[in-house]
C-alpha cells in the first residue's frame, strides 16, 4: 500500500516549482492533493500532471495573504476532499528591488505578507481539525536564508523566512502534545521561477549546480512519511557545490 494512502495533502504555491513537484510526489505516494495558488492556469497544469499519473487533485485557488481567501479555499478542500492530514506551506515570493537601497514600505509589506503572514494564515485554518484528530503534519518551505544571511535574498525575505522558521519551532513546542508535527525545510538555491525576480539572472552554469524542485519534494515526502512519534523539526538542504562557498573553496583549492 502506498505510504500516504488515505491521506489528504494541501499544498500552497502548487502551480509551479517546488509546489508542483511536491504535489506530484505526494500524489504518487497515495495522497489526494489540494492545489492552491493565485494563477488558475498553472494550477490546472499541475492538476493535469497529477491525474495523468493516476492521482487525485483538487484545485482551490487563493491569494494566501488574504484571510478570507484562505478561509474560502480551506472550505473547498474540506468539502470536496476532507480535512487535510498534511499541509505544505510552500507559497512565497521575492521582488527584484529587494535590497535596503531600493525598499519601500509597500514592498516590505508585500514580502512579509507573502513569506510570513501567509503560512500563519493557512496553518491557522488546518490546526483545529488536526488537534481534534490528534494527528497532523505541517511542512513549511523556508530558505537557507532562514539560517544565515544570504545576501542575494534581500533583507525582508531573509527576515520573513527567519520568522517562518521560528513559527515552525513554536508549533512543535505547543502542538506536539496534540500529535501535530511541524517541519521547516530550508533549501539553498533551487531552480524555480522565483529566480526570474533576481536583479541579476543566474547563468546556465550557475543553474546547473543548483537544487531542483524534485530534490525538495523528496525531502517533503521523507518528512511526511515518518512514523507519528518522529519529527524532523528543521532540515537544511544545500547544493553540493553551493555558490556562496564556491569562491572561497576554489581559492583554497588553488593554494600551493
Q: Domains (ranges, CATH) in the chain?
A: 8-254 (3.40.50.720)
**27-54 pLDDT per residue, tens:** 999 999 999 999 999 999 999 999 999 9
Share of the chain above pLDDT 70, in %: 100
Computed over every residue of the chain, the mean pLDDT equals 96
Q: Across residues 80-102, what is the average pLDDT? A: 97
Active site residue 162: no
Pick the catalytic residue from 157, 160, 184, 192.
Answer: 157
**180-238 pLDDT per residue, tens:** 999 999 999 999 888 888 888 888 888 888 999 999 999 999 999 999 999 999 999 99
Q: Is the pLDDT of residue 247 over 90?
A: no
Q: Is the pLDDT of residue 248 over 90?
A: no
Q: Across residues 151-164, what is the average pLDDT? A: 96
DSSP the chain: --TTTT-EEEEESTTSHHHHHHHHHHHHTT-EEEEE-S-HHHHHHHHHHHHHTT--EEE----TT-HHHHHHHHHHHHHHT-S-SEEEE------SS-STTT--HHHHHHHHIIIIIHHHHHHHHHHHHHHHHT-EEEEEE--GGGTS--GGG-HHHHHHHHHHHHHHHHHHHHHGGGTEEEEEEEE-SB-SGGGGGSSSPPPHHHHHTSB-HHHHHHHHHHHHTS-TT----EEEE--SS-HHHHHHHHHHHH--
Q: What is the pLDDT of residue 244?
A: 80
Q: Is the pLDDT of residue 115 over 90?
A: yes
Q: Across residues 77-95, what is the average pLDDT? A: 97
Confidence of residue 243 (pLDDT cuts 50, 70, 90): confident
Q: How many Cβ atoms from other residues are within 10 Å of residue 146's Cβ? A: 27
Q: How many Cβ atoms from other residues are within 10 Å of residue 163's Cβ? A: 18
Q: Is the pLDDT of residue 143 over 90?
A: yes
**pTM to 2 decimal places:** 0.93
Q: Across residues 68-90, what is the average pLDDT? A: 98
Q: Is the pLDDT of residue 141 over 80?
A: yes
Q: Across residues 139-165, what is the average pLDDT? A: 96
Q: What is the pLDDT of residue 208?
A: 87
Alpha-carbon span 87 to 249, nearest angstrom: 38
Backbone angles phi, psi at 87, to 5 degrees: -120, 130
Q: Is the pLDDT of residue 245 over 90?
A: no
Q: Across residues 107-133, what is the average pLDDT? A: 98
DSSP 151-164: GGG-HHHHHHHHHH
Confidence of residue 16 (pLDDT cuts 50, 70, 90): very high
Kindly tell me the burial class for residue 18, based on how many C-beta atoms sit within 10 Å of its own C-beta (0-12, 13-18, 19 or more).
buried
Amino acid at each position: 500500500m502506498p505510504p500516504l494512502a488515505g491521506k489528504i495533502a494541501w499544498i500552497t504555491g502548487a502551480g509551479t516549482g517546488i509546489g508542483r513537484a511536491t504535489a506530484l510526489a505526494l500524489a504518487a505516494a497515495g495522497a489526494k492533493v489540494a492545489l492552491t495558488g493565485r494563477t488558475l492556469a498553472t494550477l490546472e497544469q499541475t492538476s493535469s500532471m497529477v491525474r495523468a499519473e493516476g492521482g487525485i487533485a483538487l484545485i482551490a485557488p487563493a491569494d494566501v495573504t488574504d484571510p478570507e481567501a484562505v478561509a474560502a479555499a480551506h472550505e473547498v478542500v474540506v468539502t470536496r476532499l476532507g480535512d487535510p492530514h498534511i499541509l505544505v506551506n510552500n507559497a512565497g515570493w521575492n521582488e527584484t528591488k529587494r535590497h535596503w537601497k531600493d525598499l519601500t514600505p509597500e514592498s516590505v509589506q508585500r514580502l512579509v505578507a507573502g513569506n510570513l503572514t501567509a503560512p500563519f494564515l493557512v496553518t491557522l485554518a488546518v490546526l483545529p481539525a488536526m488537534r481534534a484528530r490528534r494527528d497532523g503534519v505541517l511542512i513549511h518551505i523556508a530558505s537557507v536564508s532562514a539560517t544565515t544571511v544570504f545576501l542575494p535574498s534581500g533583507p525582508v525575505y531573509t527576515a520573513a523566512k527567519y520568522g517562518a522558521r521560528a513559527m515552525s519551532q513554536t508549533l512543535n513546542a505547543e502542538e506536539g502534545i496534540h500529535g501535530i508535527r511541524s517541519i521547516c525545510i530550508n533549501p539553498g538555491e533551487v531552480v524555480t521561477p522565483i529566480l526570474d525576480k533576481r536583479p541579476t539572472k543566474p547563468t546556465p552554469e550557475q543553474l546547473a549546480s543548483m537544487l531542483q524542485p524534485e530534490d525538495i519534494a523528496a525531502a517533503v515526502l521523507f518528512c511526511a512519511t515518518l512514523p507519528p512519534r518522529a519529527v524532523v523539526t528543521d532540515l537544511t538542504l544545500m547544493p553540493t557545490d553551493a555558490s556562496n562557498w564556491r569562491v572561497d573553496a576554489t581559492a583554497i583549492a588553488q593554494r600551493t
